Amino acid sequence: MIRAYSKRLLLPYVGVVQVVDLGWARALSIDGKNWAIRYTQDENRQTLKGPHSHDPRVNLAMMVNIEGDQFKTRIMRPALNPDRVRLDSQRIFDAISTVQVPFKAADRYEYWLLDASDESPLALLQSCVNEQEMTRPASPPEWHAIPAAELAVPDPDSQLEGNYVPPVNYRLQTIIEERAGNKPQAAWFERQEPATDDFPSCLISDEWEDPECQRLCDLYLQRLSPRLLMVDGLPRMVRERLEQAACDYVFDVEKFYPLYPEVVDNSLLNTARIEARMRRANQA
């Protein structure tokens, strides 16, 4: 039986991966167009049980590109049987055609770094689809931001100071580390309805007493907003706020829009996508 679902890609959070599970192989995509296929027999134990178990960039066997009602297979490993490649590609294409992306989120088991002051959830470290996966060795209780080289976060205040200031990404990482305490702890939780509980909606706590800490957190989440909109189960007010912030990054909105499970203000995001196309046309 083919299973289709989505899962957040951690740590750090970079987006949501779409999964078509064939049983003997999995097709993984972070854009809904390019699918990496990994065969279970080829995956080592560390990959299967580690943090990269759903990362389409690891141990891929072949790539399938899907555009509209067409698909094209690009074989990555010559040792693969061509007939099997064609059959698996067709199965994936059929599954995607039947259940349109984005797929429903299935990673309801979550591993959270805890706030040292009251042991409340502070930052999401890991998530999994199956309950038995919680028994596997968990990642260290450390939260990591997206590297600044991959996602630069603008900071107007640092430009005024004149001297070198570390990127927002790493300053936020440091203050979260401090809030977790000298002996950081993490715990697993099972969540049924994310939009109705008190866990941080944006995967890290967005409430800080110190104004500078709050500013750094806000800057990071604003830059991450086009990717956070891919998260399933966001409260409506949070999604609305993220949509407004995302419009400052029109190319990211254009890229990730097909994977948004819900949209509050479609006209706002459509305007951002049109602006992205116009800018690209002017650059040509």
Write the pLDDT tens digit of every residue in 157-177.
Answer: 776 656 778 899 999 999 999
| 26, part of any domain | yes
Q: Are residues 127 and 172 in the same domain?
A: yes
> For residues 28 and 222, what is the distance between their CA atoms, to the nearest angstrom?
27
> Torsions phi, psi of 236, nearest 5?
-60, -40
Q: If you search the block for the tokens 């949501």, which residue do you land on? A: 16
Q: Per 3-state DSSP, what percentage of the chain is helix, strand, and coil (rounded to 5)?
A: 40, 20, 40
Q: If you search the block for the tokens 């049983």, which residue do you land on? A: 23
* pLDDT tens digits for range 84-135: 777 877 877 777 777 788 999 999 999 999 999 999 999 999 999 888 888 8
Tell whether pTM > 0.75. yes
Is residue 32 within 8 A of residue 258, CB to CB? The reply is yes
How is residue 199 written in tokens? 């866990």
Q: Are residues 239 and 204 in the same domain?
A: no
| 103, part of any domain | no
Count the neighbouring beta carbons within 10 Å of the beta carbon of residue 184: 18
Residue 145: which pLDDT band, with cuts at 50, 70 and 90? very high
Complete edge-to-edge strand list for the sheet that includes strand 121-128:
121-128, 109-114, 186-190
| 37, part of any domain | yes
**pLDDT at residue number 161:** 57
Pairing type for strands 25-29 and 34-39 reads antiparallel
> For residues 127 and 124, what is the distance between their CA atoms, to the nearest angstrom?
8
The residue range of the domain holding 87 is 3-98
| 59, part of any domain | yes
Q: Are residues 125 and 153 in the same domain?
A: yes
> For residues 161 and 165, what is the distance between their CA atoms, to the nearest angstrom?
8
Give the H or E element holding residue 39. strand 34-39
Q: Are residues 131 and 89 in the same domain?
A: no
| 221, part of any domain | no
Which of 146, 216, 150 is closest to 178 using CA atoms? 216
